[in-house]
Amino acid sequence: MYRGADHGSDDAVTDGGSPVPVGVKIGSTRTVIAFPAPDGSGVQVVQTLTCLAEYENPITGETKYAYGDDAAAEYPESVEFPLRSGLPDAGRQTELTSQFFDAVVASHDVPEHSAVVYVTPMSDDEAGQANLRRVIEQSPIGQVGIERYPEMLCGAIPALGEGLEAIEQVFAAMNLGATHVEAAAFRRGEQIAPYRSGRTTGNEVDRKIISNVENETQSRVHIDINTAREYKEQHADFESFEPVTDVIQQPGGGRHEFTIERSIMDPVEEYLDGVVDIFAGEFLPALSSQYHRVHRLALDQPIVLTGGMACIPGLVAEFQRRVRSVVDEDLTVTAPQRPDIAATLGAHRIATRFVG
Ligand SMILES: Nc1ncnc2c1ncn2[C@@H]1O[C@H](COP(=O)(O)OP(=O)(O)OP(=O)(O)O)[C@@H](O)[C@H]1O
Ligand SMILES: [Mg+2]
């Protein structure tokens, strides 16, 4: 399965020592990298927003860049997310993604003498997949080899055991991402009855939060898309949502304090209904009609929810409750402890096998 060196195998020899396993996800919202902590204390995880912002050094006039969380915090008006809409096109999106990724790898000393397993979304955009691969191939890491696995399968790995048990089992999963929702069954690693939609997404929730906040504040408050995402990530909660109070500076001075009660959870509730509809109304029937026995086996195992949107407190239990109420099955639902970094941790575990 592992194809070995894609480039730079000479460097690997001169570096000496055994190669290091690295898991990578370059997602549309965040990039996550996992590798052994240099002090031997376990796995180090780097997680930052997939974005960059250009600025000018006021003394030299030189064009400079800020990356990741810093770029988003300091340059909210000009920050660019090159993968905002998904896999990169051949031009500027790939270029900016490469520049971003190389900067993150360098600033966190991700080992170059490494075997990289990276994850990719379910997509038939082959050019986009090739462009993403190029970003990793052209980066300094992965000198010993580069391999890719489905994001959803990797995300299920930490949910189903301490090792690679997920690769040996039959189960169904859903990946709740920023630009897509995915569903599939896995039979010992093979993806079955894949379903993918760009309609029910984290980004869509963020867009609705913007217009809801406008409505709820009688057009006094306009937030940008990153603020909407932060509201969702910090406050959305199916167990104990509290109204959110924030302050804006008004044009011409003066602070305006406002409280929103429904603007966050309305779209999040609607989102979960959409996810349940897809799972119970589209994915399961398709799986059952094409692979009846696999469908049966998969429903006897916990359904795994992965992806950043599965981080919302109480979402997993609420998904289980709603699915049970529409399908006549006693199914259970589970999730990895950190659905937002699980795919990278799973990829890192696979990479560990390759160097072992
Ligand atoms: N703690 C959190 N609470 C709520 N939502 C979160 C949290 N963390 C991440 N998200 C949301 O999850 C989404 C990102 O999920 P993920 O990282 O799986 O996406 P992605 O793989 O980059 O996107 P895609 O594959 O769809 O292009 C975003 O909408 C983000 O705001
Ligand atoms: Mg994804």
Instruction: Tell me the pLDDT band of 172, cut-offs 50, 70 and 90.
Output: very high
Residue 86 CA, closest ligand 1 atom number: 27
Integer Cα distance of 250 and 104 in angstroms? 36
Helix, strand, coil percentages for the chain (3-state, nearest 5): 40, 25, 35
Q: Which residue do the tokens 């096998």 mark?
A: 353
Looking at the DSSP bridge assignments, the partners of residue 190 are: 187
pLDDT at 164: 97
Average pLDDT of the residues in 81-108: 96
Q: Which residue's alpha carbon is at the smallest distance from atom 15 of ligand 1? A: 308
Contacts of 3 (CB under 8 A, 6+ apart): 145, 147
pLDDT at 16: 62
DSSP 168: G
Q: Which residue's alpha carbon is at the smallest distance from atom 12 of ligand 1? A: 308
Q: Is the CB–ligand 1 distance for residue 29 below 6 Å?
A: yes
Decide: residue 123, CB within 10 A, 0-12 exposed, 13-18 middle, 19+ buried.
middle
Instruction: Tell me the pLDDT band of 258, cut-offs 50, 70 and 90.
Output: very high
Instruction: Tell me the pLDDT band of 252, cut-offs 50, 70 and 90.
Output: confident
Looking at the DSSP bridge assignments, the partners of residue 26 are: 31
Phi, psi (deg, nearest 5) at residue 116:
-105, 130
Q: Which residue do the tokens 């080899």 mark?
A: 145
Integer Cα distance of 285 and 287 in angstroms? 5
Sheet with 333-334: strands ordered across: 190-197, 181-187, 170-176, 303-306, 333-334
Q: Is the CB–ligand 1 distance for residue 308 below 6 Å?
A: yes
Pocket probe for ligand 1: among 309, 311, 341, the residue whose CB has the most ligand atoms within 8 Å is 309
pLDDT at 253: 79
Tokens for 41?
A: 């204390």
Q: Smallest Cα–Cα separation from 96: which of 54, 137, 128?
A: 54
What is the per-residue pLDDT across 100-136, written as a single tens digit (0 to 9) for each?
A: 999 999 999 999 999 999 999 999 999 999 999 999 9
**Are the C-beta atoms of 82 and 50 separated by less than 8 Å?**
yes
Integer Cα distance of 164 and 133 in angstroms? 24
What is the per-residue pLDDT across 199-220, written as a single tens digit (0 to 9) for each?
A: 999 999 999 999 999 999 999 8
- Domains of the chain with CATH codes: 20-143 (3.30.420.40), 165-336 (3.30.420.40)
Ligand 2 center from residue 293 Cα (angstroms): 28
Q: Is the CB–ligand 1 distance for residue 307 below 6 Å?
A: yes
pLDDT at 248: 87
Instruction: Tell me the pLDDT band of 323, cut-offs 50, 70 and 90.
Output: very high
Q: CA 254 from chain center: how many Å? A: 38
Ligand 1 center from residue 23 Cα (angstroms): 18
Strands 303-306 and 333-334: parallel
Average pLDDT of the residues in 84-108: 95
Q: CA 296 from chain center: how many Å? A: 29
Q: Smallest Cα–Cα separation from 298: which of 315, 282, 318, 284?
A: 284
Q: Is 295 helix (H, G, I), strand (E, B) or coil?
A: helix
Instruction: Tell me the pLDDT band of 3, cut-offs 50, 70 and 90.
Output: very low
pLDDT at 59: 96
Average pLDDT of the residues in 304-319: 98
Does the pLDDT at position 2 exceed 60? Answer: no
